[in-house]
Structures are given as C-alpha cells and as structure tokens.
Chain A
Amino acid sequence: MDCTLFLLGLNHRTAGVDVRERFSLANHCDQEHWALPCTGAIHEAMILSTCNRVELLATGVGNGREQMLQYWANAAVADISELTPYIYIHENLEAVRHLFTVASSLDSMVLGEPQILGQLKTAYRKAVECKATGVILNRLLHMAFSAAKRVRNETAVASNAVSISYAAVELAKRIFGDMRTQKVLLVGAGEMAELAATHLLQTGVSEIFVTNRTYARGQALAEQFRGRAFPFDQLAGCLTDVDIVITSTGSEEPLLNARAIKSVLKTRKNRPMFFIDIAVPRDIDPDVNNLDNVYLYDIDDLKEIVEENMASRRDEAAKAALIVDEEVASFARWLSNLDVQPTIVDLIKRNERIARNELAKTLKRLGQVDDKERMALEAMVNALMRKLNHDPIMFLKRGGMSQEDSARRVGILRRIYNLDNAPDNGEESNALLYD
C-alpha cells in the first residue's frame, strides 16, 4: 500500500483538560473552517473533536503526517513542539484498531458510554460534507460503526448502569416492570434527585409529584417535570399514591420511619414501594427496608452497584477487544483487495482488447453477417472472456492473505499477462462486473 493511513490524537489520558481545550478542533470541523485541506500529501481526512479527545484521521503519502501536525498546530495557534508531548500517532492497522476501539467506547473515560459513537458519526458526516473523505475513509468509518454495533450487541460492555441515577432507574424497572403506571415523588430538590427524576420521566412514568420545604422551589421543579407540587407537611398523605420516592433533603433527622411506612402500606394494600434516599444524612430510616414490599436504597448502596457494574464492564472489555481484532482483520482484507483492484482492471482491459480485435478480424473474414449472428458472436466472446478472467481474479482476491502475499500475487499476475507493457487503448472496461 503506497498510501498510508494516519491517526494523530490526544485524549483524556494523554492530556489534561486545559491542553484538550487549547488544542480542540471543535470549531474547525465545518466547511468554513476546515483544518485539514486534502491537497498534495493528504488524500482524505476526518476530524473528531469532543471534550475528551481530538483525533485526526487521514490517508496520504510522503510527509502527510507532518503536514497534518502542522495544520493542527496552526488551527490551535500554537507551535508543533507544544503539541507533540501530548499526542499519540498510529499508522495503518494500528490506526484502524485505535479508531474501532474509540468507536466501541472502549477508550472512553466512562467505559461503554454511548455518546462517542454519535459524536463519531457527526464528525464523519461533517467530513463528508467537506468532501474530505474517499474510498478508504468511507469504508473505514462504516466498518467502525459496525464494529461498535457488534461490541454493543455481543458483549455487556454497555449494559448495567454506571451512574447513580441510572442505577436507581434500573432498579425501579426490576421492581415494577411497566413504568408507565408508576408515580414518582421527589422529596427535596437535590441535583442528583433531579437527574434521577429526569431519567425516570424518560422511562414513561405516569406522574411526578414534588414536595420541598420551600414551596416555591418545589413548584418550579414540578413545572420543570410537568408534575404537581405539594406543601411539605402533606408528605405522608402523598405516599399513599406514589410508588417511587426519591428523597434528598438536608434534614438532620429521618423524615420517614418504618412505622409511618407500615401504615401507608396498609392503605395502599401492600402495593410495592421503592425508596431512593440520596440525602446525607439519610432521610429514611434504614429499618424501612425490613418491611415487606418495600425496597430502600441509599446513596452508598447505589454507589456500590455502580462500582460493581463498572468492574463488570472492564471484564467485558476484554471480550470486546477480540471483536475489535476481528473487525480490524476484516478491514485489512478489504484493504488488500483494494490493492489488487487496479491489476484486475488492467487484466480485464487487456483481455477485452484482445477479444475485440479477434472479433473484428473474424467478422471481417465472414463478410456479410446479419445483426442476429453478430450479436450471437459478441455474446459468445463476452461469455468466454468472463470465464477466462474468473480464475486469475479469484487468484488475486483469495481471502485471508497478508499484504506481502497479496503484493506477490499481483506481481506474478502482472508478469504472466504482461500487464505493465500492454498498450492501453482507452476502451471502457466492464471491470465493475467483477467487483
């Protein structure tokens, strides 16, 4: 492969947030401010710039890599020497592996988080709009998306919540199943409680109630969630109707104890209740968890779940790495086939030329030939050509070859058919038939 695939980048591991901010190319990804012009040594290019990483991906020849680095430094109004300590450079299949790893969220700060794939898709779309991508990057990015999809479907790297609020939502689903009939009560208005309520709302819960010591604040929050606000002293009354309670008040004493909940349970005919106590000190007496049909999780319980889930994601990452390996190998095969494509075109052109010449000679010798006979002859010549081309093309395209092996086969075929000295008569080839 004459053309090389480069990947230059920095991420949350190699650079601190100030460096990432400084060398961010977020404003250089659109058509007007495109930072990587595809001229000369750079053939195709793409920029991925998120808050945790900046990655420049390109194909090119010669000093394309140095040019990319220069463009990047220029875009960030900095000197190359300021940039180089923080970056990593990958070439060819290593670049492919890195891209697939990033797309599969195996290189993310939160392992398995889904945003990166969306960001990569946006970055690719912008590069396409800038007409900066070509055959190789188009194929590479599509394969990166499919690798990410495989990792997501075949491993548990993205399953199990790794944030407190999601962990709470997952637990609610384990308890209630259908969330559309559940009602949620927010007691107090902490940031994490709001986040949990937002996630619960996304699962389609039927209604959200809010109660807060400061009624106005509660009302504002209720409006935000299109719910209803209640005065704080009506807390006990609300409990009969709601199924999920999220507490996050600054109260020094527990607001709810087992005795209070027991009487609530009686009036609600033991329908299950799920309490999420995010407050420190805790708002709900831990004894509540001993009651039947009541489930209480405090902040430490949720944290523990998140940590265990994180550890299991790390275990799954090893499985995901194998999938990435397979996909890299698949891309390498495609790339080696790409190398043989010009030879296939040359071969077809050569054989076509010979066949046309021979057909013309035969027709001349036959003299008067009607259209039907001429078409029959042409069809025979075409069929013959296709059949004769088949084996040499298969010889080049055989799967599982290394790049060296592929190059050797190209050399052999070119010598056998004398393709490097064959005159090109410029006739249109039907090479596409053999793709």
Chain B
Amino acid sequence: MISPEFSTLVTLVFYALASIVGIAGMLAHSAFWRRMGCRLALAGFACQTLMLVLGFHKTLPGGLSLGAYLQLLAWFLLLCGLLVWWRLHQEPLLLFSAPWGLILFTMSAPYLENLVNVPPSLHTPFYALHIGALFLSLALLVLAFVAGVLFLFLEGRIKKKRRMALFWQDMPAISILDKINAFATLMAFPLYTLGIVAGLLWAKPVFGNTITGDPKEVISLIIWLIFAALFHNRLLRGWRGRKAAHLTVLIFILCLFSIFVVNTIMDTHHAFIRL
C-alpha cells in the first residue's frame, strides 16, 4: 500500500495544507492556525523522511534523478525550518519553507524519471563531493535568502517607522533573522568552496583541464567571489543586517540564474541537469 507514488502524494498534500493553513494563519493573525500549519509541515516532513528511510528514491534505475534531487532539496529546507521552529520557537520560517517544499515537490514530478546520466568514468569520490557539497550549500542559501528577505522587509518597516501590526507582528525579531542568515551563509560558503574545488579537481582527469572555460564555471566563480566577500566581511569586519542580507539575496539570485538560465540556454557540460 505504501508505494512511492502514494507516499509522494501524501507528502505533497501535507505540504500543500501546511502552506495554505500556515500562510492563512499568518495573514489572519491566528496563533491556532499557525500552529496547525507547523504541525502539518511536520507531518509532511515525517512522511518524506519515511520515504527516504524506505529508500524509495533508489527504486528508480540509475540512482538519483533530477526529480529526486529537487525532493531532497525540499526535505532539507523543511528540516531547516523545523530546526528554527524547535530551537528558536519561530514559526514563520517553517511556514515559509512549506510552500517551497510544495513548489519543489510539484516541480520534481515530471523529472522523477529524468535520470542523471553520468558516464561510468566519472564515478569518482570528487563527483559525489562536488554534487553533495553544492547541494547542501544551495539548500542553506535558500534558508539564508528567506531570512534575508524577511529581514529586509521588517528592518525597512522599523527604519521607516511604519506600524507592525497583524501579519508583521508575528514575524521573528530582526536580530533573530540576521542570526539565521549569518549561520546559513557561514555554513554554506565552506560547502560551496568544497563543491567547487572538488569540481575543478574532477574536471582535470575528465576534461583534461582544471579550468575549461565552461559558462557554468565562470558564473560559479563569480558567485564564489561575492560569497567570499560576504563570508570575509561577516566574519572579520562585523558586517550585519542590511548589507549582509542584500548580498545574500544577490548570491541566491545568481545561483538561480546559474541553475535555471545557464543550464538551459548556454552550451555547458553541466547540461545533464537541463530542465
């Protein structure tokens, strides 16, 4: 009875309900519905975790498909939201991650059969490190992005002395959002670096050169430079708040550009995850 299709549907329903109930709870300023939204998100997460434990993603031949990759991203985002809910008692981030889960899950459906065709010669530890580290770093960036955008909105309201009622009243304090943003970016940068270094080392035996001039490589290095500036300034120069949040948003948008635009319209050897 618990087939991959059935549990995918159940998870999808939970994430959809969590998104509707949670966002409605925030808009209506209702603690009850917000709590319900969080519980539904938790139920969806539990369901998806069960799917992972039962190894449903492995039922597809050839290992991870692009769809499974998107689902895994949804799972990681929900995990981050749940951790923030559990440790900091802040509901909004979990409630915002539920729609992300829903979107990623819905997006994953057509690509579950879309296998990542990696030639056997590429099966090296660097490949796993390249994909794994960049995946985790991207998931952390989503968290940093959500916290950053919320920070910018809330901080703007406080600066401009606008009233914080109803919807705004239930949002976390801006210092907490800044802390989440700092934590996520400080964790994400080393992972991003690791992913890129692994990719460069992997490129040498496969493509004959460390630097191949691939468009994906170029944009990734640009992102890395901006990311490095953010990491350095946050850690050593005490950057906080607005500046850091703006830079996080920029990095995230460049990442989206790299994934969805470069992979789709440019000639790149990363195109095996073409959408």
Contacts and interface: CB of A to CB of B under 8 A. Distances in A.
A305 B163 contact: yes
B241 A174 contact: no
Contact of B158 (A177, A295, A304): A295
A159 B159 CA distance: 22
A175 B174 contact: yes
Interface stretch (B15-23, B48-56, B165-173): B165-173
Contacts of A305: 161, 163
B176 interface: yes
Contacts of A293: 240-242
Interface stretch (A74-82, A200-208, A267-275): A267-275
Interface in A281-323: 289, 292-293, 295, 297, 301, 304-305, 308-309, 312
Contacts of B175: 175-178, 272
B4 to A, nearest CB: 41
B236 to A, nearest CB: 10
A308 B163 contact: yes
B164 interface: yes
B240 A171 contact: no
B169 A176 contact: no
A300 to B, nearest CB: 9
A270 B240 CA distance: 7
A271 B240 contact: yes
Given A171-B158, A308-B163, A309-B165, A176 B173 contact: yes
A138 to B, nearest CB: 30
A305 B162 CA distance: 8
Contacts of A160: 165, 169
Interface string B164-196: 111001001111100000000000000000000
Contacts of A156: 29, 165-166
Given A174-B154, A177-B173, A309-B165, A289 B159 contact: yes
Contacts of B173: 173-178
Contact of B172 (A177, A295, A301, A312): A177
B238 interface: yes
A295 B159 contact: yes
Interface string A340-353: 00000000000000
Interface in A145-184: 156, 159-160, 171, 173-178
A270 B239 contact: yes
Contacts of A176: 173, 175
8 contacts: A156-B29, A160-B165, A160-B169, A175-B175, A177-B176, A272-B241, A295-B159, A312-B163
Given A156-B165, A304-B161, 17 more contacts: A156-B166, A159-B165, A176-B173, A178-B176, A269-B240, A270-B239, A270-B240, A272-B174, A272-B175, A272-B240, A272-B241, A293-B241, A293-B242, A297-B161, A301-B161, A305-B161, A312-B165
Interface of B: 29, 154, 158-159, 161, 163-166, 169, 172-176, 238-243
Interface of A: 156, 159-160, 171, 173-178, 269-272, 289, 292-293, 295, 297, 301, 304-305, 308-309, 312
